[in-house]
A and B are shown apart, each in its own frame.
Chain A
């Protein structure tokens, strides 16, 4: 049996939903311990340069990773709303930015269909958006450091779900407060929303590379032909994916876990052979 501990903000909801599917868990032979930030607020207290994680959450996390038998993988989904904050609602000063070809080539995030420039928009410096996203995903770095202070179990960071293309769906399911924003501002073109998501996902991936943890990309089957979230995976709002998406993520996690186990076994095998 594989044991995985996961925690995170609202995007963990898809995995929590999926974990209700006992048949899936049995088939994958996995046991999940999931800790949602929504149950521990505020999750962090950042003041005077300190990163203080909620004490109750910290205790629950420590207990999870120190259980016997120990889990083989820790995964987390942190933040995720930044591309929505910046670009879901159309700004009164419509804007756009250009992702340079070299950044597209260097990033593991797919989606070249939406890299054209919008018309009648103010073009803003790409570097400024990169800076904004790097700042906004810095919590990932802080959490990885925090996990490392507690355990050396391999860590994996889940990519946020890709954007929802269907504007009709968004307007019908805007959520209580987004409704007001969307009625006021309208929805930004998917080209911009996709680019902002791409930038945030790339920034997450970059942090993972820098901190030596695994970046879990969006499951291939979760994207439509344009790189956006497939309709059947929409949750009830413009931001989140549903339990079926969560199931795909669990499958991915198990594959990673299997690979890690395989690697470890292989190392052990070679150790045995050399004895």
Chain B
């Protein structure tokens, strides 16, 4: 007799992985808590988090978006402007430090010295969400007003959310030497100019990530004590590493650090870890969940992740998208009808 004898089947590789059809592999086992259809679920994180957000939106969960496209923009191409990708228009948040700083910025407690990146054509780029508008901001006033309402949307999200799903993506980042501000992308890639005197590369350790995420979670709990957290690690490999080594080695380091950090952080009673990283990268799928570039996650993989998410975390959420009574276009449609009638009536005056 030894203690392994009494372990449940999921503890054994054969039962959990090797002896199970790939599509039936379920490493979640049990959820830390359940999400009701009334719970407001907010999302943020790296690009993989966009998949989670998209599926949450269509799954019957109360996907919480505090910065929605205005209904008057009905019919306009709002998606490239970052509406609905996440709870607010923050774009991808790749690192824990970036999340921590964003929270502080939203409450006016941290104002980075690098305020804006002007382009030669007069357009303005937000250093901290450089791709949030395809062509940047048209004017300083628009930029400042937009940022101000963006921060208000973040504050509302933090104070009202029930569940915050955050996907950790990277450990590598670029930092301002002046004040430690973390950029989502290296200056010069999607705006701004890289300057070695001003910008420095950082690669966070497990302690760094744990410290930053703990601070972010504490920050949110201070303003919203009932908040619960689900952490995931993005399975998407690094597109490039600034370390002088293979991108594969850097990917392994980065994901390992993030995975360790999640393990530590999920000891907190209000923090759960959801193994989307394992579901996508586990060898049981033999790479089938990656696209041809061996980096992007395909829809089959995302579906596997979200199926398990729903199975374990949805307490009573419907499996189908509920019928949503949209007011998005009603204003425009009503006004179009009204103006059409007024224009028709013009004929009567002839």
Contact = CB atoms under 8 A, between A and B. Distances in A.
A128 B342 contact: no
A221 interface: no
Interface in B124-147: 133-135, 137-139, 141-142, 145-146
Contacts of B38: none
A239 B343 contact: yes
Contacts of A259: none
Given A122-B70, A128-B76, A238-B342, A177 B337 contact: yes
A9 interface: yes
B334 interface: yes
Contacts of B342: 10, 81, 175-178, 237-240
A139 interface: no
Interface in A22-63: 36, 38-39
A86 B135 CA distance: 23
Interface string B112-123: 000000000010
Given A10-B346, A102-B122, A175-B338, A124 B73 contact: yes
Interface string B268-303: 000000000000000000000000000000000000
Contacts of B349: 13, 17, 235-236
B343 to A, nearest CB: 4
Nearest to A102: B122
A122 B336 contact: no
Interface string A220-240: 000000000000000111111
A117 interface: yes
A235 B71 CA distance: 30
23 contacts: A13-B350, A38-B346, A84-B335, A84-B339, A91-B71, A92-B331, A97-B142, A98-B141, A100-B138, A117-B145, A122-B70, A125-B81, A125-B133, A126-B142, A127-B133, A128-B78, A131-B76, A131-B77, A132-B75, A176-B341, A177-B342, A178-B341, A185-B331
Interface of B: 70-73, 75-78, 81, 122, 133-135, 137-139, 141-142, 145-146, 149, 331-332, 334-347, 349-350
Interface of A: 9-10, 13, 16-17, 36, 38-39, 81, 84-89, 91-93, 95, 97-103, 117, 122-128, 131-132, 135, 175-178, 180-181, 185, 235-240
